[in-house]
Amino acid sequence: MTEYDVLCVFCGADGRYGNELGVVRDGVAVATEGERQAFAGQLGFSETVFVDDVERGVIDIYTPTLRLPFAGHPCVGTAWLLGVPALVTPAGVVSTRVDGEFTWIAAQADWAPPRTLRQYDSAAAVDALVVPEPGEWIYAWAWQDEQAGRIRARAFPGRGDGIDEDEATGAAALLLTASLGRPLHISQGRGSQIETSPRSDGLIEVGGRVRKKAKAEY
């Protein structure tokens, strides 16, 4: 049996919602890429993380069907769980920090997988969207309050792997922040909250609340 933690990342102010994340702290227990892919597929979370070195924060990230060099909500969640100053991903070293109830990561926008950022006229139009057919990874967004940087968003991965809509998506939020060039307060999914901010060194910070939902075995 392999133990794993279930976290909710980018929770709302009331501690609800957030995107579920599986984290296997003992990555050696699921050693090969094929075993990890099968494990992630069985768990069925939008992403699952395998920790290869707890002290150094070396991690490996999988969706139910593919391996990712970088992803936002897995990095935020794992940073909160391990309490390390940085995470080592295949894309690069992700710095981390904690500020009150928020855990933050800093990463390069070009580490994020490609996403279609599709703007709509209103938050109501985003709310009314139906899940599109698989094919394109779409981040649908609209201004709620442009002056305040408040955005309404929904994410449709389009992979056909059972994750029709992502509750909260750090990499897409990172890309949107890079595109708009300003800090954002994003309300995504049913009630998740993502905070972002561009830094002067060109990195983008992405932050949110994390809570532990369960510890389980598979």
CATH number at residue 24: 3.10.310.10
- Dihedral (Cα; 57, 20, 9, 1), 10-degree rounding: -30
Do residues 27 and 87 share a domain? yes
Do residues 7 and 22 share a domain? yes
Give me the residue label for tokens 């992630």. 40
Inside any domain, residue 68: yes
Residue whose C-alpha is closest to residue 217's, from 8, 64, 24: 24
Print the domain residue range for 61.
3-98+208-217
Q: What is the pLDDT of residue 6?
A: 98
Q: What is the DSSP letter of 122?
A: -
Give the total residue count for the chain: 218
Do residues 62 and 123 share a domain? no
Q: Angle formed by the axes of helices 170-180 and 72-82, to 10°?
A: 110
Contact assessment for residue 145 and residue 116, using Cβ atoms and an 8 Å cutoff: no
Inside any domain, residue 194: yes
Beta-bridged to residue 106, according to DSSP, are 95, 205
Inside any domain, residue 94: yes
Inside any domain, residue 151: yes
Average pLDDT rounded to a whole number, residues 128-145 = 97
pLDDT digits 0-9 by tens, 37-51: 999 999 999 999 999
Do residues 148 and 184 share a domain? yes
Give me the residue label for tokens 């995470």. 87
Do residues 200 and 213 share a domain? no
Inside any domain, residue 103: no
Inside any domain, residue 106: no
Global model pTM greater than 0.85: yes
Q: What is the pLDDT of residue 16?
A: 95
Do residues 91 and 117 share a domain? no
Contact assessment for residue 13 and residue 191, using Cβ atoms and an 8 Å cutoff: no
Inside any domain, residue 105: no
Calculate what percentage of the chain has a pLDDT beyond 90.
99
- Domains in the chain, number: 2
pLDDT digits 0-9 by tens, 176-194: 999 999 999 999 999 999 9
CA torsion sign for 41, 215, 54, 111 is positive
Contact assessment for residue 22 and residue 42, using Cβ atoms and an 8 Å cutoff: no
Per the prediction, the chain carries an average pLDDT of 97
Q: What is the pLDDT of residue 218?
A: 87
Do residues 119 and 152 share a domain? yes
Do residues 186 and 115 share a domain? yes
